[in-house]
Amino acid sequence: MSEKKKIIFLCTQNSARSQMAEGLMRKLFGEEYEVFSAGTNPYRVNPFAIKAMEMEGIDISSHGSKSIDDYLGVEFDCIVTVCDNARENCPFMPGGEKYLHHNFTDPAAIKGSDEEMLSGFEKVRKEIKDWLIESFGKGTS
């Protein structure tokens, strides 16, 4: 059996989009990929991201926000930026065979009631899931 490929999802705070991408990638393609996420300016995992992922049957409640600096020197097969800010501010990471970018809406920027904010996180979670399936193959839907 071949070794799993390493993939990292990068965002600004590693609090929502990259965390959701990490959890979804593990569920969809965990047999093929060792999955990581980090931020250029890590903060904390957003509680709405945790809740939106729970609704997908994925528990990210034990995740913590990590800095891209924690992974400098690690060689990844695939480096994915999920926001324009991370793409513009990410230091060069050697070893990436594949670099991908998709700017997902920042669900943390949504203002409103808890229900409206959770709905925004669910929408972005679905967009990330659909993009991962389209980009990496046929996952479970």
**Which residue in the list 25, 35, 68, 83 is annotated as catalytic?**
83
**Of residues 64, 2, 62, 63, the one with CA closest to residue 31:** 2
**Which residue in the list 8, 10, 11, 53 is annotated as catalytic?**
11
CB 125 within 8 A of CB 50: no
What is the C-alpha to C-alpha distance for residues 27 and 5, in angstroms, rounded to an integer? 15
Name the amino acid, one letter, at 106: D
What is the C-alpha to C-alpha distance for residues 9 and 20, in angstroms, rounded to an integer? 9
Q: Is 78 a catalytic residue?
A: no
Cβ neighbours of 20 (radius 10 Å):
34
**Which residue in the list 7, 24, 90, 118 is annotated as catalytic?**
90
CB 87 within 8 A of CB 81: yes
Name the amino acid, one letter, at 37: S
Which residues carry out catalysis? Answer: 11, 83, 90
